[in-house]
């Protein structure tokens, strides 16, 4: 998890203006552990910043993604989720409740000799299934 200060320092380093809106998005995302969507970020911040536009959320998130300061997850088919944690880690999506969990994984332990001549820039691992909470709910019913 990256702190807000680290994120804003990185923005300064890249000569990106630290606007009120961007700080709010960064703050929300770095305090969040649920990999929120644009819609979730928008409706949460709209209360504090009523003038906020959804386009600004998109702009900010796309910008930060390009700079590799955050990660966009495509584990959900129809909506992007965002992650302030850029350390390589796996994501588990529960098919029942939709929640996205983090898990540690040593991706570099992969044997990738087949890709010797490829330049690998990003390694993504998604697991899908049922989370413990939903498993126990099923058992109760």
Partner DNA sequence: TTTCCTCTTTGTAATGGTTACAAGTTATTA
Partner DNA sequence: TAATAACTTGTAACCATTACAAAGAGGAAA
Least distance CB 102 / Mn ion (angstroms): 4
Q: Which is nearer to Mn ion, 26 or 83 (CB)?
A: 83
Q: Using CB under 5 A, which residues numbered 95 to 124 contact Mn ion?
A: 102
| Binding interface with DNA (CB under 7 A) | 16-17, 19-22, 37-39, 49, 51-56, 58-60, 62, 77-80
- Interatomic CA distance for residues 128 and 114, integer angstroms: 25
Least distance CB 126 / Mn ion (angstroms): 11
DSSP code string of 61-112: HHHHHHTTSSEEE--STTS-EEES--S--EEEEETTT--EEEE---GGGS--
Q: Which two tokens stand for residue 13?
A: 């380093």
Q: Which is nearer to a second copy, 19 or 86 (CB)?
A: 86
């Amino acid at each position: 998890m990256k702190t807000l200060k680290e994120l804003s320092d990185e923005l300064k380093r890249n000569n990106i203006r630290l606007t009120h809106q961007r700080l709010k998005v960064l703050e929300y995302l770095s305090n969040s552990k649920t990999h929120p969507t644009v819609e979730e970020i928008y409706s949460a911040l709209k209360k504090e910043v009523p003038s906020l536009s959804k386009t600004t959320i998109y702009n900010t998130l796309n910008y930060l993604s390009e700079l590799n300061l955050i990660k966009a997850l495509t584990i959900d088919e129809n909506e992007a989720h965002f992650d302030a944690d850029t350390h390589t880690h796996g994501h588990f999506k529960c098919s029942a409740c939709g929640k996205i969990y983090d898990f540690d994984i040593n991706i570099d332990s992969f044997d990738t000799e087949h890709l010797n001549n490829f330049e690998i820039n990003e390694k993504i691992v998604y697991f899908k299934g049922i989370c413990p909470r939903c498993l126990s709910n099923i058992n109760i019913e």
